Amino acid sequence: MTEVLTPDICIIGAGSGGLSVAAAAAAFGVPVVLVEKAKMGGDCLNYGCVPSKALIAAAERGELARRSSAFGVTTMRPAVDFAKVHDHVHGVIAAIAPNDSKERLTGLGVRVIEGTARFKDRRTVVVGDEIEIKARRFVIATGSSPALPRIPGLADTPHLTNETIFDLKQMPEHLIVIGAGPIGIELAQAFRRLGARVTVLEAARPLAKDDPECAAIVLDQLARDGIQIRSGIEIARIESTPPKVRAVLKTPSAEEMVEGTHLLVATGRRANVDGLDLKAAGIKVEPRGIIVNRGLATSNRHVFAIGDVTGAHQFTHVANYHAGIVIRRALFRLAAKVEEDVIPWVTYSHPELAQVGLTEEIARQRYREIRVLRASFHDNDRAQAERETRGHIKVITMGNGTILGATIVGAHAGELISTWALAVQQQLNIRAVAELILPYPTLAEVGKRAAIGYFTPKLTQPLLRRIIPFLRRFG
Ligand SMILES: Cc1cc2nc3c(=O)[nH]c(=O)nc-3n(C[C@H](O)[C@H](O)[C@H](O)COP(=O)(O)OP(=O)(O)OC[C@H]3O[C@@H](n4cnc5c(N)ncnc54)[C@H](O)[C@@H]3O)c2cc1C
């Protein structure tokens, strides 16, 4: 017999976005049903942010040991036991998993249903033959999956994606990474630093969504690490003769072969809409994902869509941000809307690359007069002490000093961007940062140094340049 449920909110997908909506709605005492077809926690916990950052942390430990002699500390050459790296990665997932578990959500008052959800009509979702859900509002939070490019031979060749790479228990000898976006770049560097040979193949520009000047510093570090990055290439086909795999590149003269032992495909994401029967619910979809307005409503006004499935900036914090907007709209009827221009993102390479607000390129397209303020990690005393002098900050303001955006490339850029995320979101004037009192010596002073630059355009003059090092300590 079919069980009919009539909650206020039914959420499809228990990843970053769905869990946030479910937990918040339950906290307000609203009846909630959450449907998940696979692992609680979705991509971020199981195949994305968490395992990738755990892998990067392991790679960093090795790198720190290799670099320690410059500090007068000599350690043995680090040895990597990749099976133990695998255990570390899965140990981190296991440590975080209880936060996203069915038990925790049930404890909060959420009815969690394990199964695949699909729309029956505009107001009904079914899970198998047994459960029918007629909710006041639905939230689609079904995320995204790796998109495979149409390269002849790829589908028939064993390859890794973010869904399988963290299961490796043996270090790949030579990893070929197709795609130089944040996911490809982060994993390429982590595997290289753990000891694999790595070649990255990119059809366009690596880290294309980031400020090219700052991205170049990351790419230069990757090259110094020994990673081969081939950009602007076209892959004619993929071949394999186990245990080898080959990417055959088209070149003007002849074909060129890149041979490795493992292939990772990191060429973007496709929205998870298959099997939802969106047509039955009157929900419009385009190739990048479900179409939503700035209030995240779909073409069916009873249904919201959030996170990766909308094809917007595909990050966990964006899925959480979307969740907050849906809660405000669905529960409190507030007119909350997505502000794309205040969303930060970070590529967790070394050095890290962090962005919030407008890049210089976009700001120049939108405003007649902008100021670009810079400061280098090289001129920062803490960076010198830590031997982390590669990197800089670029702050973009309007002519009147309103902060439009910031890009940071350098150690801990992902932490340092927070100040600028606040500044951009609150539309602060650069004076607010220039007048901040910051503890000395900290990397955050790089940002303050850039902000002071707004008021001292003449600091480029030779005499003043000579006294800057003295001024620096007195901020
Ligand atoms: C390698 C990698 C590294 C990343 N690193 C970062 C990072 O450092 N920082 C960051 O912010 N973001 C990162 N991301 C992106 C981040 O993982 C995603 O943006 C985030 O998980 C999106 O959340 P979501 O709720 O939209 O979808 P998901 O977390 O993917 O959750 C969707 C859920 O819906 C379920 N589902 C799908 N269809 C159905 C159905 N019909 N019925 C029931 N359930 C269904 C799925 O099983 C899944 O559990 C990374 C991604 C990858 C791949």
Identify the pLDDT of residue 468. 58
CB environment 119-130: b (16+ within 10 A), e (fewer): beeeebbbbeee
Cα 239 to middle of ligand 1, angstroms: 30
Quick check: 258 and 199 in contact, CB under 8 A?
yes
Instruction: With beta carbons less than 8 A apart as the criterion, state whether 240 and 246 touch.
Output: yes
Q: Which residue do the tokens 């507030």 mark?
A: 334
Work out whether the CA dihedral 111, 114, 120, 122 comes out positive or negative: positive
The pLDDT, as a whole number, for residue 317 is: 98
200 within 8 A of 177, measured Cβ to Cβ: yes
- CB distance 146 to ligand 1 below 6 Å: no
CB-CB contact of 5 with 134 (8 Å): yes
Write the DSSP assignment of 209-241 as a string of letters: TS-HHHHHHHHHHHHHHT-EEEES-EEEEEEEE
Which of 142, 167, 264, 274 to probe ligand 1 with, by most ligand atoms within 8 A of CB?
142
Pocket test for ligand 1, best of 10, 33, 44 (most atoms within 8 A of CB): 44
**pLDDT score for 251:** 85
Give the model's pLDDT for residue 287. 95
Ligand 1 atom nearest the C-alpha of 307 is 26
CA of 384 to the centre of ligand 1 (A): 38
Q: Is the CB of 206 under 6 A from ligand 1?
A: no
Please state, in angstroms and rounded to a whole number, the distance separating the CA atoms of residues 226 and 198. Answer: 8
18 ligand 1 Cβ < 6 A: yes
- Going across the sheet that includes 234-241, the strands are 234-241, 244-250, 255-260
Distance of alpha carbon 149 from alpha carbon 181, whole angstroms: 14
Residue 210 near ligand 1, beta carbon < 6 Å = no
Its sign, for the CA torsion 242, 247, 251, 256, is negative
Tell me the C-alpha distance between 230 and 12, whole Å. Answer: 40
How do the pLDDT tens digits run along the chain, 475 residues long?
799 999 999 999 999 999 999 999 999 999 999 999 999 999 999 999 999 999 999 999 999 999 999 999 998 888 999 999 999 999 999 999 999 999 999 999 999 999 999 999 999 999 999 999 999 999 999 999 999 999 999 999 999 999 999 999 999 999 999 999 999 999 999 999 999 999 999 999 999 999 999 999 999 999 999 999 999 999 999 999 989 999 999 988 889 999 999 999 999 999 999 999 999 999 999 999 999 999 999 999 999 999 999 998 999 999 999 999 999 999 999 999 999 999 999 999 999 999 999 999 999 999 999 999 999 999 999 999 999 999 999 999 999 999 999 999 999 999 999 999 999 999 999 999 999 999 999 999 999 999 999 998 655 556 555 665 655 555 4
> What is the Å distance from ligand 1's center to 144 Cα?
6
Q: Give the model's pLDDT for residue 252.
A: 81
Ligand 1 centroid–CA 142 distance in Å is 8
Residue 128 near ligand 1, beta carbon < 6 Å: no
The residue whose CA is least distant from atom 1 of ligand 1 is 48
Task: Return the best residue to mutate from 186, 315, 348 for the ligand 1 pocket (most ligand atoms within 8 A of CB).
Answer: 315
Cα 453 to averaged position of ligand 1 atoms, centre (Å): 40
Angle separating helix axes 49-67 and 82-96, nearest 10 degrees? 130
- φ, ψ (nearest 5 deg) of residue 34: -125, 125
Is 52 touching ligand 1 by the criterion CB < 6 Å? yes
CA-nearest residue for atom 6, ligand 1, is: 49
d(C-alpha 177, C-alpha 230), whole Å:
10
What is the model's pLDDT at position 458?
56
Instruction: Give me ligand 1 centre to Cα 264, in Å.
Output: 18
Q: Tell me, in angstroms, the distance from the centre of ligand 1 to residue 275's CA.
A: 17
Between CA 208 and CA 206 the distance in angstroms is 5
Q: Ligand 1 pocket, 310 CB below 6 A?
A: no
Cα 306 to ligand 1 centre (Å): 11
424 lines ligand 1 (CB under 6 A): no
pLDDT at 43: 98
pLDDT score, position 472: 56
Could you tell me if the CB of 46 is within 6 A of ligand 1? no
